[in-house]
């Protein structure tokens, strides 16, 4: 059994990830992975001794929680009628292939290397996101008058590329999928966020299964009572992540999207710098 204080903090991480996923159409791993390293870092509970590959366990747990984050958010978005289901027939197979390939690539690297790569990526992502926020001519959230493009090659690329990047970094892929749906498919931001959540549900199931099945390659195991382990972490975060996902999806349709981006970007940037310390 994990200590009660650590269990509560991990559950709170799940809640934050759920809110992030529901609001931004991403799986929540952008928050989960750096948060777990911070929580179990030297300044708080301490990294698990003798487990340098713990990052692979964090990746597997985060992918599992991505499902819990995105599923209720997707259902809430679907009730609002904003999920573009006609794109999923092509996007989902491509996303699964990309995710599985990305996980296999990640297994070729050590946990510390993946942690640093994640930190660098998050910093670049935040800089890019801040640039979008600062642009004087932003696309409207509702995107009135926009005509969507549904070419098979473009839609497939929107599934494969985010899946590949997500599998390598242990993320859901929504960080890339949302802007790609806007740029490649000319989709409204609200529809892109909702559709991204639907894709992440399926690709994260595939990615988490493969990542968990290959943890033994890194000296980590799924079916263990050792703390922190995949099942402990995912089990503590998933219920609160589902609650956060529903809440975030509802808030998405009621608060300014620019404010959401600023808050999310700030949190991720602070977390990324902690990963490098």
- Percent of the chain, pLDDT > 90? 35
Contacts of 218 (CB under 8 A, 6+ apart): 53, 56, 107, 110, 111
DSSP-derived letter for residue 215 is G
* Rounded Cα–Cα distance for residues 219 and 51 (Å): 8
Taking a C-beta distance cutoff of 8 angstroms, is the pair 37, 262 a contact? no
Tell me the pLDDT band of 45, cut-offs 50, 70 and 90.
confident
* Rounded Cα–Cα distance for residues 142 and 89 (Å): 24
Give the pLDDT confidence score for residue 50 in this predicted structure.
Answer: 61
Lowest mean pLDDT among 12-26, 213-227, 232-246: 12-26
Q: Which helix (H) or strand (E) holds 172?
A: none
Average pLDDT score over the chain = 84
Give the pLDDT confidence score for residue 157 in this predicted structure.
Answer: 95
Indicate whether 70 pLDDT > 90: no
Contacts of 158 (CB under 8 A, 6+ apart): 87, 91, 94, 177, 180, 181, 184, 185
pLDDT tens-digit profile of 101-112?
Answer: 999 999 999 988
Name the one residue in this structure whose structure tokens are 């998050």. Answer: 122
Tell me the pLDDT band of 141, cut-offs 50, 70 and 90.
very low
Indicate whether 181 pLDDT > 50: yes
Q: Where are the domains of the chain?
A: 4-275
Mean pLDDT of 238-247: 85
Mean pLDDT of 176-203: 88
């Amino acid at each position: 059994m994990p200590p009660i204080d650590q269990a509560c903090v991990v559950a709170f991480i799940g809640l934050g990830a759920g809110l992030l996923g529901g609001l931004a159409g991403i799986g929540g791993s952008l928050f989960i992975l750096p948060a777990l390293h911070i929580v179990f870092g030297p300044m708080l509970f301490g990294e698990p001794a003798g487990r340098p590959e713990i990052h692979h366990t964090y990746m597997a747990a985060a992918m599992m929680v991505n499902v819990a984050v995105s599923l209720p958010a997707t259902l809430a978005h679907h009730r609002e009628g904003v999920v573009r289901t006609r794109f999923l027939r092509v996007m989902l197979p491509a996303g699964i292939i990309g995710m599985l390939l990305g996980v296999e690539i990640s297994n070729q690297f050590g946990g510390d290397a993946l942690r640093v790569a994640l930190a660098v990526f998050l910093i670049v992502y935040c800089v890019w996101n801040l640039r979008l926020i600062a642009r004087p001519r932003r696309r409207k959230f509702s995107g009135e008058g926009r005509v969507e493009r549904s070419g098979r090659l473009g839609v497939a690329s929107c599934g494969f590329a985010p899946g590949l990047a997500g599998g390598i970094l242990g993320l859901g892929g929504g960080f890339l999928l949302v802007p790609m749906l806007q740029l490649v498919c000319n989709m409204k931001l609200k529809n892109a966020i909702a559709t991204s959540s639907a894709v992440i549900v399926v690709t994260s199931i595939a990615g988490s299964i493969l990542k968990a099945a290959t943890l033994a390659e890194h000296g980590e195991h799924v079916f263990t009572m050792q703390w922190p382990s995949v099942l402990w972490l995912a089990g503590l975060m998933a219920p609160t992540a589902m609650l956060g996902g529903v809440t975030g999806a509802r808030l998405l349709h009621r608060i300014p999207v620019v404010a959401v981006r600023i808050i999310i970007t700030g949190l991720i940037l602070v977390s990324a710098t902690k990963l490098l310390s």
